[in-house]
A and B are shown apart, each in its own frame.
Chain A
Amino acid sequence: MQDTKAPSILVVDDNHDNAEIIRQYLETRGYRITVAHSGDEALALFETVRPALVLLDVMMPGRDGWEVCRIMKQHPTLGRSVRVVMVTALDEWQDKREALQLGADDYVEKPFELPTLAATVQRNLAMQRALAS
């Protein structure tokens, strides 16, 4: 149903300013953006938004990004097609391993430049389309 429309992205960040900056930047590039400010909110929106890609902050109060990633990837229908990109302040081998274990597809390190983010989003969406077809 969304094939003809712009790809849908769910941005999850408990920091409202961050989320807003990302939303505005990506919206000007033609993506449909939905913002969630907590892990629970993101999971609740997941089925209605059916995002092609989720930009997921790792450090959030309550359910953190790892947990949310795991649950999304286990979703019976949407789990396979969604690309999950972790937004992390940590640049450790072990964290990347963890991201892999939980099914994440890519990550962006904080602080990031917006063009870097856009490039990451772009290549993941390209991969998502390639895998879906």
Chain B
Amino acid sequence: MSNSILLTDSDLPSLAPAMQHLEGWEVERLLAGELANAVASRPAVRAVLVATTDPTILRDVVERAHGCGVPVIVACADDTVRRRAVELKAEEWFRCPATPDEIEQRVRAALARVQPAPAQATADRVDRVELEQMLHDSLTGLPTLPVMIERSRNLFKERGELVVLYLNFVRYSKIEEIYGWEKLDAVLETTAAAVREFLDDTALSTSRVMVSFTNDDDFIFFHVPAAGVAAATEGEITEMVARLQRHVGGRIEAQHGEDIAALFDIYVGRAHVYYNPKIRLERLIYRGIREAANASRSIEERERARRVADLRSSLRDRGVYVDYHPIVVTETRQIFGYEALARGVMRSLRSPEVMFDVAAEADLVWELSRLCRARAIEGMDSRLQPGELLFLNVDPHDFSDPAFDEHEVTHPERVVIEITERTAIKDYPKFRERLRIFRERGFRFAVDDAGSGYAGLGSIANLEPDFIKLDISLINAIDTNFIKQNLVETMVKFANDHGAMVIAEGVERAEEFKAVKDLGVHLVQGFFLHRPSHLPPPARVEGKTAAVP
């Protein structure tokens, strides 16, 4: 290791003997005026001892040295210099003349004091990394709100008006809940890209449009009309929103499939903000955002009311159909059974998640569940080959529905009841008693969404299931994530010990299929092998090519 250098302009005779006590140090003498530049340009300099009586030079040296994290010791000829040294926050000072011991001690003390500096620098670096994260969303690459406000400040003052559009992407949280945060991240990325694309070729591009992402799952547009152009009219904005909705929806369907696209919906609220020099600009803009957000919410409310009406008429007309999604044996790829997926006939209720959400709001869950169950069981005889099982989704709440009983099905031994714990089970003893009765009739049980956080090993042990369905979030990209592999391995081992079978849901890629196969997962369900369909699929299917549309 090279020697540390002490820079100094001092010619004190006691300095040389003092430095001999400090191992590995060299003293270098310069003129007082040269110290500041030398400190900054030479990394080997570890301390400065300054003896000048010139206040400007002293200030300069101390500031430059501190800028580089180098401690300063001031050799004071008189009290004035001492006071300056203290005022400038030099690490140490001593009165001249001084003994070698005194100088040595001051240098050591100064070095000790400056130790915290690298830690400070560390904290600054961390702050910077965090700050960057705050200014731009790392996922979507869109600026965050403070950046947007800063950017639009001058333009807004100049043009005098600004339109805030608040894009409320409903049910994105649902995507996270069902498919995991990685999927939501991917969908948000697609959304942001689609939004940017859209802006590039919109009629509004003559004016200044800016987008921000709120880090929740909403987007905010600032639209500032160009000079000499009127702000977009209500009609233009409505038209633009409709096109944006189609554009983003199309992109999401193309990249993430129709199940996720069915969850997609934007409600757009808007607010006009006029510049007022008397009111703080930020406050004006935030008010506008709040107004736009509220507007988007009231549109959402209206939309919801319309959906409830749709649901009521669907229930009346039995407007639910069932898609059957094959579950296959991993080793042989033979059909083992089908999961029944209920879908609304009406377009607004196509997605089962949406349908059940609406039902929950309108207190129609039992009725909807009854209809879906009845539909799924109706299709059993025509759809399923003998020996194939029907996997039926049942919410724990359904067990307290008096109309749901063990005699509803003629072949209980061919039905597997899938239980999800998304809704908490309140009365465990009673619930288990109901399960026992069903089990005695010959029904089997599966725990749905295992590993999603809703169902840990503890609750799985509690339900003693015959099948464990692994959550999609555990399967998604399992080929590259060793933690997921370990968790699945644990589940398979647990299942083997308890005489149960593991089903991997959401297998979409060949790599994922291979990974779950290698881990010993017994059964597989997913787009890689089959898509859900109304038609009976062939008995054995190879990969994606044979998927039924």
Residues of chain A having any CB pair with chain B under 8 Å: 40-41, 43-44, 46-47, 71, 74-76, 79, 93-94, 96-97, 99-101, 104-107, 120, 123-124, 127, 130-131
Contacts and interface: CB of A to CB of B under 8 A. Distances in A.
Contacts of B181: 101
5 contacts: A41-B122, A43-B129, A47-B125, A93-B456, A100-B484
B461 to A, nearest CB: 11
Contact of B456 (A41, A94, A100): A94
Given A101-B181, A105-B481, A131-B480, A96 B125 contact: no
B483 A106 contact: yes
B147 interface: no
Interface string B118-155: 01011101100110110010100000000000000000
B129 A46 contact: yes
Nearest to B474: A100
Contacts of A101: 181
A93 B487 contact: yes
Given A104-B483, A124-B482, A131-B480, A74 B138 contact: yes
B486 interface: yes
B457 interface: yes
B451 interface: yes
Contact of A75 (B129, B453, B482): B129
Contact of B123 (A40, A71, A74, A96): A40
Given A74-B133, A74-B138, A96 B483 contact: yes
Interface in B463-495: 480-484, 486-487, 490
Nearest to A63: B126
A107 B136 contact: no
Given A71-B129, A93-B457, A44 B482 contact: no
Interface string B197-211: 000000000000000
B483 A76 contact: no
**In the complex, the 6 A-B pairs of residues with the closest C-beta atoms, listed nearest first:** A106-B482, A44-B125, A44-B122, A43-B126, A76-B138, A74-B138
A97 B453 contact: yes
A12 to B, nearest CB: 13
A67 to B, nearest CB: 11
A75 B122 CA distance: 17
Given A75-B138, A93-B456, A100-B481, 5 more contacts: A40-B126, A44-B125, A71-B129, A76-B133, A105-B482
A94 B451 CA distance: 9
Nearest to A38: B122
Contact of A76 (B119, B122, B136): B136
A123 B481 CA distance: 11
Contacts of B486: 96, 107
Contact of A44 (B126, B138, B483): B126
Given A44-B121, A93-B457, A99 B138 contact: no
Contacts of B129: 43, 46-47, 71, 75
Contacts of B132: 76
B455 to A, nearest CB: 10
A62 B121 CA distance: 16
B397 to A, nearest CB: 25
Contacts of A76: 132-133, 136, 138
Contacts of B456: 93-94, 97
Contact of B125 (A43, A93, A100, A120): A43
B375 to A, nearest CB: 35
A96 B336 CA distance: 31
Interface in B92-139: 119, 121-123, 125-126, 129-130, 132-133, 136, 138
B483 A99 contact: yes
Contacts of A96: 483, 486-487
A107 B487 CA distance: 11
A71 B121 CA distance: 18
Most chain B CB neighbours (cut-off 10 Å) among A40, A99, A124:
A40
B462 to A, nearest CB: 14
Given A74-B133, A97-B453, A123 B123 contact: no
A97 B130 contact: no
A40 B482 contact: no
B510 to A, nearest CB: 15
Contacts of B125: 43-44, 47
Contacts of A44: 121-123, 125-126
B483 A107 contact: yes
Nearest to B481: A105
Contacts of B487: 93, 96-97, 100
A127 to B, nearest CB: 6
B416 to A, nearest CB: 24
A94 B483 CA distance: 12
Contacts of B480: 105, 127, 130-131
Interface in B444-465: 451, 453, 456-457
B86 to A, nearest CB: 31
B64 to A, nearest CB: 23
A21 B163 CA distance: 60
Nearest to A39: B126
Contacts of B126: 40, 43-44
A123 B122 CA distance: 31
A71 B481 contact: no
B138 A100 contact: no
Nearest to B129: A43
Contacts of B482: 105-107, 120, 123-124, 127
Contacts of A131: 480
Interface in B522-546: none
A127 B515 CA distance: 14
B103 to A, nearest CB: 33
A79 B136 CA distance: 14
Contacts of B119: 40
